[in-house]
Structure 1
């Protein structure tokens, strides 16, 4: 049941909102989590949890159960059909998690929900937020069923089309175009590709991510000119034939689910406006290339949760301005990084030999491979 008052209202029960709620609950903060969906999704976009994100999840007691349910991947590869252009190993990362964890976002959400429940919290469903008003004492949030709640602080973790962000009047910078079109699918395949590493295939028509998951599932994410409403087996097989291995091509054996989505490269002009705070996709969205989006959102959430707990314990609320000042540049860097990976894939045919030569040169340079491994793992975001 929705309370009339709460210290912190978290809108959105994806990985970002749940991580923020767990962080606050661990610090003894009264936190209420709401989500518009009647039940947790069983499908999701993100499939990789990187090393630094696992370190952050360790801090809130969520890493170990997640690792138990995923595949530890020792490397990330970039390919052009059968040619290996670049292999980035994670084995020597300066982390207690020297790998990338391959696991569905729905599993990440389930682990975080279990952790929140163990701390005495819960997700209230379905509550669709319709607006808010804020003043010096906090915010009053309205819902579609007529319910209202007064919160001292509101965290918008409600995704790219954030009602929290829009209701607060925070601009979401970026180009006014339709955005990049993507196909997303969980499938089973007969494949010669390793079942413990993510491969990014570069093709003239766009990049394709091939990511193995537990139970023999493969997550496919491909940038396409215009995704069909319901990508079917024939469409997905054509993508594999066009972009995947050629000598020993993948053969689709089962399609578990499919979807399509569009991504705009956008960053909120600010992460705080009075008692309203943003994290995750509500604050920044970008291409899925490199698997950075959910990871950055979880990192946002734990930093924000700890900072907000400090403020509620009596420290000055200017700490929250410092959160915004520190996290926004990281989002700008991730947006740029994801954009560069996408441009690598779509180099015109005349430029591909030079691109491939440069990538192979990077692959033969240990210092360059290490820098890229640190960048992909998120360890470059670790506070000094």
Structure 2
């Protein structure tokens, strides 16, 4: 590596400050992991693009301290209003379900991507960090101890050779969160197989007159040549324009070009675009990286998978990639076995594979004018039952399994206050729940750094003094435990282990392997 090099060291170098990179940075920051977050663009992304936050991602963002501000910034999805050529219309409301104790979030939340990422940067600043914009990864090399990267810094300064100033950065690990055209993936030589889906679309953020903001306006459903959607973006004065366009040829993304497209497809002269804040035309692809890890370098988010936008799965999958990797990096940097990092690809790549199939199937349905969505887009049923990080002793024949998402539940504290199970999970720690046992039974499991232990009991069991009471039976209904069971929950909110009281040796060995050493 040649050039004007300035030294720098960190534990994790994150390349790309979109939703995936910011999520990973927040998670590492709250774990006290030293990192650098760099972004090639000189300014944050200012478009809407991914605007739907699914229920499972809302749970993730609640844990990271972001959900309340995103709910305040965004809003629910409006009904879809299907306009006919004669001026009449029909409406289709998004299917909703009431929240339950186990699943407190049941509806997708609309937040334009630029507002989501702004909230993430605000949260990161609260934790004492910020992305470095205008920093482009040039190249990197890795060895047994770490990764050495060259970064070009757009400061206006130049080297004697005329190029931008460069910094040499040394990190224990490097994470590519740099999007579908990922330089990190390309430099690793990882194949990105898949297919182009034969659909090109325009998406733009515009201000306009002539349409109310109480609906997501749809024109020419079922016609890929004439479809047009205009969706009011919650928390802004903008509409998001979406329209398929011919595969070849130039597309005018200015006011005049977009107004002509709207007039032609809506058949109306009263809808008038007044300004364009962001616009893009892109070809839809479905591609999945062959690998997510090479040595000390990882891919997260769109660097590992790209897909059609149907179903609102992309940003959500990217956030959850980073949420899965963050706690594992933190654990290994504290001394956990390196093999823990292999479970990132083991768990997340199959999820992306399923997500690509789902979003492609929904795209095919959308071509026919069918925009219905079911529970599958909520991502609440995603889990890792086949993961090497799932233990059941003895095996459970039915109900909640190791590897499944850990449900929420209403509880009552010993002192009388109400709380939620998610409040016990919130934070970077592991959680061990002992059911149907006394407070003193917690001593059966020795204390460990990064582990919080809670005893949960039933109100009618007067013989046990517990930390929390399952006052309404929510915990029993969601977890179906037996008296004496121990339930270990991972930092990312998935059940790691169900272990009976007579199998504590197996639980001890499992926690050692997961990087939870005795204190």
User: What TM-score, normalized by structure 2, do the two folds share?
Assistant: 0.63
| CA displacement 1:259-282 (0-9 Å, x = unmatched) | 223332111111111111111110
Runs of 4+ in 1 over 6 A off after TM superposition: none
Partner Cα distance (1:111, 1:341) in 2:
29
Q: 1:330 to 1:80 in 2, by over 3 A?
A: farther
Say whether 1:217 aligns with 2:225. no
Say whether 1:92 aligns with 2:129. no
Partner Cα distance (1:2, 1:193) in 2:
55
Partner Cα distance (1:167, 1:287) in 2:
25
Unpaired stretches in structure 2, ≥5 consecutive residues: 153-164, 384-403, 406-519
Partner Cα distance (2:317, 2:107) in 1:
17
| CA displacement 1:304-350 (0-9 Å, x = unmatched) | 11221122222222222211121112211221222122222334xxx
SS at match of 2:166: coil
Say whether 1:132 aligns with 2:117. no
Say whether 1:17 aligns with 2:25. no
SS at match of 1:132: strand
Contact 2:224–2:244 (CA under 8 A) maintained in structure 1: no
Partner Cα distance (1:199, 1:325) in 2:
40
Q: How many residues align?
A: 360
Q: Which has the larger radius of gyration?
A: 2
Question: By how many angstroms is 1:186 displaced?
Answer: 1.1
Partner Cα distance (2:96, 2:295) in 1:
41
Candidates 237, 253, 258, aligned match of 1:236: 258
Q: 1:122 to 1:215 in 2, by over 3 A?
A: closer
Partner Cα distance (1:332, 1:286) in 2:
10
Candidates 150, 156, 164, aligned match of 2:184: 164
CA RMSD of aligned residues (A): 2.9
| CA displacement 1:93-143 (0-9 Å, x = unmatched) | 553333322222111111111111111112122111011111211211112
Q: 1:170 to 1:179 in 2, by over 3 A?
A: farther
Aligned twin of 1:342? 363
Say whether 1:195 aligns with 2:214. yes
Candidates 321, 338, 355, aligned match of 2:342: 321
Aligned twin of 1:186? 205
SS at match of 2:381: helix
Contact 2:22–2:121 (CA under 8 A) maintained in structure 1: yes
User: What TM-score, normalized by structure 1, do the two folds share?
Assistant: 0.83
| CA displacement 1:9-45 (0-9 Å, x = unmatched) | 1000111100000001111111110111122132342
Aligned twin of 2:126? 118
Q: 1:155 to 1:250 in 2, by over 3 A?
A: farther
Q: 1:243 to 1:338 in 2, by over 3 A?
A: farther
Say whether 1:281 aligns with 2:282. no
